[in-house]
Chain A
Amino acid sequence: MTGPTLALRGFAVGHGGHVVAHVPDGDLVPGRLHLVRGANGSGKTTFLKTLAGLLPPVAGRVDPRLAPGPGGAVYVHSTPYLMRGTVGRNLRIVPGARPDVIDRWLTALELGALAAAPAATLSSGQRQRVALARALVAAPRCLLLDEPEGGLDDASLARWRRVLTELVQAGDTLVVLAAHGATALDQVPVTEIHLTP
């Protein structure tokens, strides 16, 4: 376990100074899956985006090591935005992306055959996998996943969970995942984060 631990103390998130959710004090630690729980509108997305540096926290502070981008924090939307052009281009736009790393994640998420396909022609599940691969190419210190399993069919889901399990077990990446329903990873310990209004 070589990754960083991230302490959350007195952390609150929201928009324009208005608190949407308070985050319980605790530590995000490598080797565990951090599962953010809450109903629709409970602030899960706002929390993830704040950790990702896309929104300022209303209270508390975000670790400066988590600057957005490769080696920092990377957020994956529940409905990802893919850039115009091919699947391959979507991965190559990551600053400093190496071809071997791109190939590795294309293969891991079974996107190799789609590398030259226009992103606009993909199904929602394929788009989701491209967005996950793109985030993984950035080798983030902290990976923030917003409902990442929507649109994935059973085969994709099994493969994705294997990738996620290995990522958590490798211990180099803090993984925080917001999920509405159940997300079961059999082989990794889970810390649940319950947001309160």
Chain B
Amino acid sequence: MSLLVDALTLVATLDGEVWQVTAVSLQVSFVALALALALAVPAGYALAGARSGVAQAASGVLHALAALPTVVVGLTLYFALSASGPLGWMDLLYTKAAMVAGQTILAFPILAALTLGAVRRLPPSARETVQTMGIRGVARMRVVLNEVRPALVSAALIAFARVFTELGAAVILGGNIRHHTRTLTTVIALEHTRGDDARALAMGLVLLGIALAVNAVVHGAAALRGDGE
């Protein structure tokens, strides 16, 4: 109990470095989420339009990939980006870009799978209406995705929660370098290892607070737009 009191006291008196770490966490996760949305939502939409068997198989694979352990993604990308790896020439290891890449890979299957599912669950009359109105190509994608917008908002929140709170890829690909690639999750692990559990818990409370705040803001905005699920 005294640990929690210590942690809460620390939260109230957190120093500038904590906010810098928080900023790195938010920056990496939001960029990764934006990239994953840009890639995964059109991919999920396209797969939803495939033949039924193909779409079902793709859905199964994406759901399996959504459960990829973060350390496995981190390690795999680490080998690819290390000096002797195939992408070593990019010199990205221990940068925020490498962390963004890892988190994008983590978010992609979640977003693609949920987009695919949401589009396929639309009633046949929705697809027929779009078709009979002669809405094609990119315009069709925009109209259809707008029909499943509440599901996309939920998917984005789930994907954000996954990448913002993950440790494996962040620590392996970013290296927990102070003032550079240190994030809330990597610093929590570090402080715990050092034995400063009060500080680790304080960071944990900040992480939890931000994750909850993002959820609240997005849900609030969706409710105002009449987009609630």
Contacts and interface: CB of A to CB of B under 8 A. Distances in A.
Interface of A: 49, 52-54, 67-70, 72-75, 77, 79-81, 83-85, 93-95, 118, 120, 134, 138
B132 interface: yes
Contacts of A69: 132-136
A120 B135 CA distance: 21
B92 to A, nearest CB: 40
Contacts of A83: 129, 143, 146-147
A49 B146 contact: no
Given A77-B125, A95-B139, A84 B132 contact: no
Contact of A77 (B128, B134, B143, B147): B128
Given A69-B136, A84-B147, 15 more contacts: A54-B132, A72-B134, A74-B133, A75-B128, A81-B123, A81-B128, A83-B129, A83-B147, A84-B149, A85-B146, A93-B143, A94-B134, A95-B133, A95-B136, A138-B133
A81 B134 contact: no
B150 to A, nearest CB: 9
Interface in B32-48: none
B76 interface: no
Choose among B134, B135, B146 the residue with the greatest number of A CB atoms under 10 Å from its CB: B134
Interface residues of B, number: 17
Contacts of B135: 69, 93-95
B131 interface: yes
10 contacts: A49-B128, A54-B131, A54-B132, A74-B134, A75-B132, A77-B129, A81-B123, A94-B133, A94-B134, A95-B133
B149 A79 contact: no
A95 B134 contact: yes
Q: Which 8 A-B pairs have the closest CB atoms?
A: A69-B134, A81-B125, A75-B132, A81-B129, A81-B126, A68-B132, A77-B125, A68-B134
B195 interface: no
Given A93-B143, A95-B139, A79 B134 contact: no
B53 interface: no
B131 A68 contact: yes
B226 interface: yes
Interface of B: 123, 125-126, 128-129, 131-136, 139, 143, 146-147, 149, 226
Contact of B125 (A73, A79, A85): A79
B131 A84 contact: no
Given A75-B128, A81-B123, A81-B125, A93 B133 contact: yes
A73 B129 contact: no
A81 B143 CA distance: 13
Nearest to B147: A84
Choose among B132, B134, B135 the residue with the greatest number of A CB atoms under 10 Å from its CB: B132
B138 to A, nearest CB: 12
B139 A73 contact: no
Nearest to A78: B125
A68 B134 CA distance: 5
A83 B129 CA distance: 9
Nearest to B149: A84
A84 B145 CA distance: 11
A74 to B, nearest CB: 5
